[in-house]
Amino acid sequence: MEQTLLILKPDATMRRGVGAAVFEQILNALPDAKLKGFLEIAVPSHLAEKHYAVHEGKFFYPWLLQFIQVGNVLATVLEGEDIVARLREVLGATFVEKASPDSLRGKYGIVGGVNVAHASDEPANAEKEIALWQKEAQLDLSQDGFEAINAYIAKWLETPIVATEQIRQICQDYAREYLNRDIYQSEITELLIEECPDWMEAELSTLANAILGNMDLDRDSDR
């Protein structure tokens, strides 16, 4: 049976309500999927590099390595018929602005490539990625992911998700002139504090920096 690797990126993991909502909606959209393994970790740089090796050399690769290491990620494997394509459909297009408003990236993504989650793009890559995460992160597929994910949902679903639109607006304001970055970073950090109950301000400031960093890619490339 086909498997795929789902990784909630730091923007969804640190915003606990977003992570819980994303898991809940994935379970609802893919009710036949089996969930195998569940892991919350800080991605070590050697794993980040291997996971994103296909993007090495691209203009966004350094940002991507930085972003995935801003905070913890949540990893799990979904198994089911045509699950690779079906999970990507639920997630939506890569860029938040291009993702359908009904998709998870459209709903919860902040801006550009700050887009909630990674999902394998084809079955052969899924196999490679799953093997990598088993080896390098001890993702244990014999563990029932369903139970762990339901516990996560129960714990965090009530956490407020109140900042998405405001942070998007701040990013648009920043991208008009690319000035006063520190001020925009502080404003985003303040908003994240409301949504990220178990992270320190300094950690949230790092996430805010990565969000603006994705906007900087727009300035520095013709993406």
Write each residue from 88 to 127 as x if it is in contact with ligand CDP (CB under 6 A), else as -, in one continuous string: ------x-----------------xx-x--x--x------
Q: What are the C-alpha distances in Å from 165 to residues 8, 92, 110, 111, 117?
A: 20, 18, 8, 10, 18
Min dist. Cβ of residue 121 to Mg ion (A): 5
CB under 5 to 8 A by kind: which of Mg ion, ligand CDP, none does 218 bind?
Answer: none
Which entry of Mg ion, ligand CDP, none binds 70, CB below 5 to 8 A by partner kind? none
Burial letters for 128-141: b for 16+ Cβ neighbours within 10 Å, e otherwise?
ebbebbeebbebeb
The length of the chain is: 223
86 is an interface residue for ligand CDP by CB under 6 A: no
What does the alpha-carbon distance between residue 27 and residue 82 come to, in Å, rounded to a whole number? 15
DSSP-derived 3-state class of residue 80: coil
State the residue for tokens 């994303």.
Answer: 22
46 annotated active-site: no
Q: Which of 46, 51, 55, 118 is catalytic?
A: 118
Q: Is 132 in the site for Mg ion (CB under 5 A)?
A: no
Residues making contact with ligand CDP (CB under 6 A): 60, 64, 94, 112-113, 115, 118, 121, 214, 217, 223
| Residues involved in catalysis | 118
Residues making contact with Mg ion (CB under 5 A): 121
